[in-house]
Amino acid sequence: MTHTSNFIQFADKQLDLADVQVMGILNVTPDSFSDGGKFSQIDNALAQVASMIKDGATIIDIGGESTRPGAKDVSLNDELDRVIPIIEAIKQRFDVVISLDTSKSEVMGAGIAAGVGLINDVRALQNDGCLAELANSNLPICLMHMQGMPRTMQANPQYKDVITDIIEFFEQRISACEQVGIAKERLILDPGYGFGKTLEQNYELLARQKELSVLGLPILAGISRKSMIGNLLQRDVSERLAGSLSAAMLATINGAKIIRVHDVKETVDALKVLNATLKHGL
């Protein structure tokens, strides 16, 4: 993985970030799938993964702990029980990059052993043991910016300047990674839409996202169905598709290389239209 190439090695699979990649979201928290035993949950998950791959997702992001505002913490054993069997099942059946959305070093280690290709951490490896765990691997890591912690992050977010503050945060985390031997070239940055940011700050971030290119690393944007869309449009979660597609296109125009979404098929279509246009300038 080098700055001169757009190719990134995700465990045994390589992706070219010259083309925007679509990451499909697979939440395996208890309320994400219908009730029933473990097999029914895994069957549901695998059906969803098959559908997302068919629709054009090249990365599947698996999370066993909700990070929405006000979310409660999940125990280590519960998180392992939720994510590891599904990672193993996906690995057996599909040729796709598996991303593990976690902030626990033990879950990261178990996920790496099970074959994930990307660690996606909303806390940017700030929890105990995470830096050390990933110093021993060669996987790419996505570091996300969040002001505060999930339970309280939306209480009263304050910034001197939203972009400058995010860049400073990333510079500190990149430096912390390099100090333990995690090469900068392994890192992907997520500015953290909706994580400790007001409505106004989120849209300023979207407008100015290109400024993050000063850090020289790929940008992942996750805006799909978030409250920044719901609150602006006064739309329930189930009615945020048009807003999510608009945000995905704007994030791509402003430099994002990976777009994390719930609605894979529609996002892939929207980005094809965008890319066909971008070839002729914008």
What is the DSSP secondary structure assignment for residue 262, as one 8-state letter?
Answer: S
Of 47, 49, 65, 68, nearest to 57 by C-alpha is 49
Tell me, yes or no, if 38 is annotated catalytic: no
Short-list 117, 127, 119, 126, CA closest to 94: 117
Q: Which DSSP string do the residues of 80-139 spell out, in sequence order?
A: HHHHHHHHHHHHHH--SEEEEE---HHHHHHHHHHT-SEEEETTTT-STTHHHHHHT---
Q: Are strands 7-10 and 13-16 parallel, antiparallel or unpaired?
A: antiparallel
**Residue type present at position 9:** Q
Catalytic residue among 82, 226, 240, 257: 226
Do the beta carbons of residue 88 and residue 110 sit within 8 Å? no
Bridge partners (DSSP) of residue 21 are: 258
Pairwise CA distance, residues 267 & 56, whole Å: 9
CA 148/CA 56 separation, integer angstroms: 34
C-alpha distance from residue 62 to each of 108, 112, 119, 137, 235 (Å) = 12, 13, 10, 19, 26
- From the list 104, 123, 240, 260, the catalytic residue is 260
**Do residues 263 and 237 lie in contact, with contact meaning Cβ atoms separated by under 8 Å?**
no
Answer yes or no: are the C-beta atoms of 8 and 14 closer than 8 Å: yes
184 an active-site residue? Answer: no
Instruction: Give the catalytic positions in this structure.
Output: 226, 260
